[in-house]
Each structure stands twice: as C-alpha cells, then as structure tokens.
Structure 1
Amino acid sequence: MKYKLFGSETGLYASEIILGAANFGTRKGYGADPQESEKILKAYAKAGGNFIDISDVYQFGEAEEIVGSFIKGQRTNFIICSKYTRSSEPKPAISNFGNNRKSMRQAVEQSLKRLKTDYIDIYMPHYDDGVTPLEEIAMGLQDLIREGKILYAGLTNFPAWKAAAITASTKLTALQIEYNLLQRTADRELIPMAKEFGLGVMMYSPLAGGLLTAKYRNGEAGRITHTTAANYTEDEKTKLIINVLLSIAKRYNATPGQIAFAWNLSKEGFPLLGTRNINQFEQNIKAAEINLTTDELSELDAVSAISLGYPHDLLNTVRG
C-alpha cells in the first residue's frame, strides 16, 4: 500500500486507503462480530494500512472498543480518526447530544476509554447540528489539542462556508466528505476549500453504498447509504457510469467496485474502505493494485461529471 502526506498542513504520512470501522460490532443488529472485525483489522495492517476511521456512534461504541483492543500495544503504528455528535448511547440525554462543548468533552473522554489510549490523532464533529455556534466548536477543539487529548481537528458533513469560518479561528487539518462517481457535488465548494486551506480529505462511501458494485442493477433494491437520491438505479446517468465501470473492469479481470475504488484512489484524498466481512475486504483492497490509464480516468471523470453551477459555470465561461 502506498503512503502520502495527509494534506499540506501536517507532516503526517498516512496509507492511501483508510479502513472504515462503522460495521465493527453488532450492537445495532448488524455488522461484523469482534472476531470477524479482528480478521479485517489484521488483514488491513498486513497490507500496510495505518489509518482507521471510527465514531462513537458506530455500533453504540462497540466499534471503538474493538479497535482499541486491536491497537493495544501498537498504538503508535496507527492514525485513529474518531467523531462525535450523535452519542454512543441509543437514547442519549438531550445535554449529551450535538456539537456543544459539554457533549464534545464527554464524548472524547468516553472515546479515549473505549480506545484504551490517551490521545486521538484526528477528532471531529460527525455533522453540523445546525445550532452550536461555530466559535464554540472551534474553541472546544482547540482546547482538546492544547490538552493533548487530540492531535488534529477536522470536520465531517459541514457546508464549505462553515468549514472555512472555523478554519479561520482554529487549525483544522482534516475534512471528511461523501465522494464517489455518483456523488461529486463536493467538487463545487468543499474540495476547492480543502485544497485552499491544505486540509487532508477523507472520502467516505466510495462505492455509493454498494451500488457501484453493479449488484443492484435493473431496479433491484440494495443497501444504499449516504445518497442524495432515493433510487439511483432509475437514473440514466447512473446506468451510464455503471456500464463504463463494467467495460473497464473486463480489461483488468476486476469487479466494477474495484474500478470505482481505483478511481477514488486516483484523487488527492483518502478513500474509506468499509466492510462487514474479510472476504469483502480482500476483494476491495485489490483496487490498490489497479493502475487505471489516463484515458480510463478521463472517461470516468467525463461520465460522472456534474455541473458546478453558479457562479462557477459563469466564471469558467467569462475566463475562457
């Protein structure tokens, strides 16, 4: 596995693929049990991976417990990113929810215990709660950095203007976004903003919840998550993208999902690889071995391109 600098504002080298641990544990009635999760973690580490993404809400804290048990005794070998906002409790008290400093403080202390560590490498709100002042979030994250409880701060699922506003008062180093061939709206504002501020970009849902594996063609229902459309399979553009993936996959004796993931790997950010079993992991990790040609990348870029909208389209026109 290759390594690259995480943004331009750190000297942190991270593996090009982040392991997403959202499905580690079974407290929500689905996911990988601790034994299966450990198999995935071991395989990821053996492949050279050193970057794990979790959140306190994943499996109501069980994901952090599983990762904590795995990294015990080898903590310095891994970059751990965790998140708060939604709480690790199934029914949290109203004061233990959201991005306020009270919630932040309680969440980080609990995450540290579950992870069996005294610091978290990257820490961020899971999403914009719409009520907590940006200054409060910024001050809270900065306090945690000064105390050594976290090393770097970031944001997940925030509008670009809010992320830019927080960056003006707090040293942010990470931005986590949804990004794949079916979801490229981050190209409008979020990715340019991240580049301007030197943020490392973490890209979740690279396979669009499984749709880009081409398993759910012809209207078949699938486990599609984090999408902005109710049913991508009815969209002509989606069908075109999947057809291109199928065509390219034949050339490499690969799966459409591996090609979709390889496209994400060609970008400057770091895609998250989430999985529920070791077989799925072993299939998807093979994407790191696929080097798409310039023409193939251009074809995928073109078929998945979006209109940047106003003012970007206007500016591109007047600037020639």
Structure 2
Amino acid sequence: MRYRLLGRKSGLRVSEFALGVALFGTGWGYGSEHADARRVFDRYLEAGGNFFDTADGYQFGQSESMLGELIAPVRDDIVVATKYSGGASKDPTLAKTGNSRKNLVYSVEQSLQRLKTDRIDLLWVHHSDNVTPTEEILRGLDDLVRAGKILYAGFSNFPAWRIARADLLAELRGWSPLVGVQFEYSLIERSADRELMPMAEALGLAAAVWSPLGGGLLTGKYRNGEQGRLQGMGRVIRTEKTERDAAVVDAVIDAGVQLGKSPAEVALAWLGAKARKSTTSIITIIGPRTVEQLDNNFLALDLALPQDLVDRLDQVSQIAPGVPFEVNAETLPRMLGGRPHLVDLPAFKVA
C-alpha cells in the first residue's frame, strides 16, 4: 500500500485505499458480524492500510461502535474519518438531524463515545440539508478543531459551488480549512467529472471517492445471477439502465479477460490510473464485506493498465460535459488566438 497526502491543504498521510466500514454491523439487515469485520480490519492493517471511513448513520451507529472496539490497540497509527448529518437513530428527529451547529456538536459527542476515542481525525459533513448557512457549518467545524474534538474537516455529497464557497470563506475568515471532498465516482458514475473533480484539483482538496465498483455492478456479478447488495440492501446500487451502462460493463469484463484479471481489478486499476495523473489526491474508498473481497481489491494495487486500455475505458464511460463546458470547448480555439496548436498549455487547467 502506498500513501498520499490528504490534499494540498494538509500534511496528513493516508493510504491509497481507505477502508469504508459501512458494512460493519447488521443494523441495516445486511453487513458483517463482529468476527468477519475483525478479519477484514486485520487484513487491511496487514496490507499497510491506515485510513478508515465510517459515519454515525452506518448500520444505525453499529459501524462506529464496532470500529471503536477494533481500533484501540492501533489508535495512534491510523486515521479515523466519520460523518454527521442524518443521525444514528432508526427513527430520526428534528433535533438530531441536519447540518446545524446543535446537531453537529451532539453528533460528534455521540460518535466519540461509540468510537471510544478522544478525537475524530477527519469529520465529513455527510449531506447538505439545504437550509443551514455555510457560515454556521464552517464556524462549528472550526470550534471543534480548536477544541481538539476533530482535527480536519471536509464536505461529502455537496454541490461543487457550495464547497468552493465554503473553501473561500474558511480562507478569508481564518477558519480551519476544508481538506477534502467525498463523492461517488467510478467508471459507471462519472458525473463528478463536470464540476466536482475539476474543483478538487483547482482548490487542492483531496477527493475521497466512494462506490468505486458501482455497488458491485462493475464486478459483473449481477450478470451471473449473484445478488450481493442488490438483494441484501436494495440500495446503494446501480443496475444496467442504459446502453452506456451495458457498454461500460462489457468493456470492463472484456478488459479483464484480455489481461487475465477480474473486472473488479480493472475498475479499481482505472481509478488508480486517474489518481496518478491527478494534481491532487484521489483516495479510493473500498467497502468489502469479506476478506476474500478485500484481497481481490488489493490485487488492483499492482495492476498498471496499458494506456490504450485506459483510453478505451475513458471513452466508453465518458459522459456529455453539458452546459457551459460544451460551448467553451467549441470557443477555445478562438480563445487561443486561432492557433491552439502553437500554445503549450499546462497539464493543470482551470475548468
């Protein structure tokens, strides 16, 4: 396992694969019992992993509690990230959900108890409630950093414009900076290429990407009649809804056959290729339920896809840029004085 800085605004070193532990526990009716979770935890540590990602709501708090039982012997050697917004209760209430300072403080105190630790290394604001002012969220996070309850903060599943505004507000007001963003990203889901990924690159924010296998779709297992999360959870899942989806899965399976590798290895190795070209840190959050799945994920770390194969996967999975990017692409030659072939542009571009 190799390590990366968590973006350009921190010196925190994290492993290239983060272990998402949403499936630690059985509160959702699907997940891992304690013994299986321990095997996954131990195997991840053996491979050099040091970055654990959970949330207060995962398995209705069981994920944090189970992780808290496992991390005690290695607490100072690992990075623990959790999230707040939706609460841990099966029956949410107005007082214990949302992005308000009140819920922020309450949620962090509850997470600290479940994790059996005195600080959270990285706290993500899990989802936007669409009403709490950004200033309130940022000031609340800054207070918790100053109090030592959390060390770093980031936004998860927020629109790019809100993250960019929050990043600037924190800088201007001297509040603790955002160090990263978290969003879904894979060969099957590339919407983040429009705004989120370019924003992370431009602002130096780490991009922690979840569901890199499209909820299992990119493994090809659903074509073989396997169910996994599709049956066990009925959510956080993608199916072949369009011709593009089918073409992407076909391409991943074909690439695996060509290389003698599994489709999962190919899909994760494609993300690895993206990370190596990025000007910021892209951290892949894997979420295996079993040690066998984890070991298969690890195989991708040693797989360097040929460039022609990366290009092929890029092409089959690409999405329409949309407005205003398509218009800008058409006018760019003129913006370069009508001589784009004579201009040496930097690899980094401001979208």
Q: Counterpart of 2:27 in 1: which secondary structure?
A: coil
Deviation at 1:20, TM superposition (A): 0.5
8 Å Cα contact 1:216-1:233 kept in structure 2: no
Deviation at 1:284, TM superposition (A): 1.9
**Residue 336 (structure 2) aligns with:** none
**Residue 55 (structure 1) aligns with:** 55
CA distance in 1 between counterparts of 2:195 and 2:116 reads 37
**Residue 262 (structure 1) aligns with:** 269
CA distances 1:109-147 after superposition (whole Å, capped 9, x unpaired): 111111111111110211111111111111111111111
**Residue 256 (structure 2) aligns with:** 249
RMSD (Å) for aligned C-alpha atoms: 1.7
8 Å Cα contact 1:217-1:233 kept in structure 2: no
Q: 1:284 aligns with which of 297, 304, 317?
A: 297
Q: 2:191 aligns with which of 185, 195, 199?
A: 185
Structure 2 residue 302 is the aligned partner of structure 1 residue 294: no
CA distance in 1 between counterparts of 2:124 and 2:227 reads 33
CA distance in 2 between counterparts of 1:15 and 1:172 reads 19
CA distances 1:158-208 after superposition (whole Å, capped 9, x unpaired): 001111111122210010000001111101111111111111110000011
CA distance in 2 between counterparts of 1:234 and 1:153 reads 35
**Residue 107 (structure 1) aligns with:** 107
CA distance in 1 between counterparts of 2:69 and 2:40 reads 14
For 2:49, give the aligned amino acid.
Answer: G
**Residue 156 (structure 1) aligns with:** 156
Structure 2 residue 38 is the aligned partner of structure 1 residue 32: no
CA distances 1:77-108 after superposition (whole Å, capped 9, x unpaired): 11111001111111133111111011100100
CA distance in 1 between counterparts of 2:324 and 2:310 reads 26
CA distance in 2 between counterparts of 1:5 and 1:215 reads 34
Deviates more, 1:84-93 or 1:156-165: 84-93
Gaps of 5+ in 2: 171-176, 276-281, 334-351
CA distance in 2 between counterparts of 1:169 and 1:236 reads 42
CA distance change for structure 1 residues 221 and 77 in 2, over 3 Å: closer, same or farther? closer
For 1:263, give the aligned amino acid.
Answer: W
**Residue 319 (structure 1) aligns with:** 332
Gaps of 5+ in 1: none
CA distance in 1 between counterparts of 2:260 and 2:30 reads 31
Q: Counterpart of 1:44 in 2: which secondary structure?
A: helix
Deviation at 1:220, TM superposition (A): 8.4
CA distance change for structure 1 residues 250 and 218 in 2, over 3 Å: closer, same or farther? closer
**Residue 345 (structure 2) aligns with:** none
Q: Counterpart of 1:267 in 2: which secondary structure?
A: helix
For 1:128, give the aligned amino acid.
Answer: S
State TM-score, norm by structure 2. 0.87
Structure 2 residue 96 is the aligned partner of structure 1 residue 96: yes
8 Å Cα contact 2:221-2:227 kept in structure 1: no
Deviation at 1:218, TM superposition (A): 8.7
**Residue 271 (structure 1) aligns with:** 284
Q: Counterpart of 2:229 in 1: which secondary structure?
A: coil
State TM-score, norm by structure 1. 0.95
Tell me the number of residue pairs that the alignment of Structure 1 and Structure 2 aligns: 317
CA distance change for structure 1 residues 90 and 44 in 2, over 3 Å: closer, same or farther? same
CA distance in 1 between counterparts of 2:45 and 2:242 reads 38
Q: Counterpart of 1:298 in 2: which secondary structure?
A: helix
**Residue 304 (structure 1) aligns with:** 317
CA distances 1:16-56 after superposition (whole Å, capped 9, x unpaired): 10100000011222200111101000000001101110001
CA distance in 2 between counterparts of 1:222 and 1:74 reads 31
CA distance in 2 between counterparts of 1:194 and 1:250 reads 34
**Residue 174 (structure 1) aligns with:** 180
